[in-house]
Amino acid sequence: MPELLGMSDRVMVMCEGRLTGILDGKEATQEKVMELATKFM
């Protein structure tokens, strides 16, 4: 995850095949990504 966040300008997150959010690279944190990745679980 640190490598992904360190080299990305934007991160698109999906959960169960549905788009749950797009985070700007500067505001993306591991916590925000995981929150979006588990939205429908």
Say if residue 41's pLDDT is above 90. Answer: no
Residue 39 vs residue 41, higher pLDDT: 39
Three-state secondary-structure class, residue 26: coil
Tens of pLDDT, residue by residue over 11-34, are 999 999 999 999 999 999 999 999
pLDDT at res. 33: 96
Taking residues 1-15, what's their average pLDDT?
94
**Which residues lie closer than 8 Å to 17 by C-beta, 6 or more apart?**
none
Length of the chain: 41
- Per the DSSP assignment, residues forming a β-bridge with 12 are 22
Residue 25 belongs to domain spanning: 2-37
**CA-based nearest residue to 33, from 5, 3, 9:** 5
Using alpha carbons, list the distances in angstroms from residue 5 to 18, 21, 23: 21, 15, 10
Number of domains, the chain: 1
